[in-house]
Amino acid sequence: MAAQGAAGSTVVICTDGLANIGLGAWDECHTEADTQAAQTFYEKVATIASTAGVTINIVSIEGDECNLDALSSLAEATGGKVERVNPTTLTQDFANMLSVPVVATNVDAKVKLHKGLQFRNELATDLSNDKSLLARRFGNTTAETVFTFEYGMKPIS
- pLDDT of 69 strictly over 60: yes
Closest CA to 118 of 135, 99, 132: 132
Alpha helices per DSSP H over the chain: 32-52, 68-78, 90-98
Terminal alpha carbon distance of the chain? 54
pLDDT beyond 60 at 23: no
Same domain? For 70 and 144 the reply is no
Domain span at residue 45 reads 10-98
Closest CA to 151 of 133, 139, 136, 137: 133
Question: How confident is residue 66, by pLDDT bands cut at 50, 70 and 90?
Answer: low
The predicted pLDDT at position 132 comes to 92
Higher pLDDT, 71 or 78: 78
Task: For residues 54 and 72, state if they share a domain.
Answer: yes
What's the pLDDT band for 134 if we cut at 50, 70, 90? very high
141 shares a domain with 75:
no
- Most confident range (mean pLDDT) of 18-22, 41-45, 150-154 is 150-154
- Nearest-Å Rg of the Cα atoms of the chain is 18
What is the C-alpha to C-alpha distance for residues 138 and 146, in angstroms, rounded to an integer?
Answer: 10
pLDDT score of 99 = 76
How much of the chain exceeds pLDDT 70, in percent?
82
Torsion angles phi and psi, residue 70, rounded to 5: -70, -45
Whether the Cβ atoms of residue 10 and residue 4 lie closer than 8 Å to each other: no
Higher-pLDDT residue of 151, 77: 151
pLDDT at 152: 92
Average pLDDT, the chain: 80
Domain assignment present for residue 5? The answer is no
Q: Of 5, 97, 109, which is closest to residue 51 (Cα–Cα)?
A: 5
User: In terms of domains, do 70 and 53 share one?
Assistant: yes
Domain end: 83, 98, 113, which one?
98
Lowest mean pLDDT among 21-30, 57-66, 68-77, 137-146: 21-30
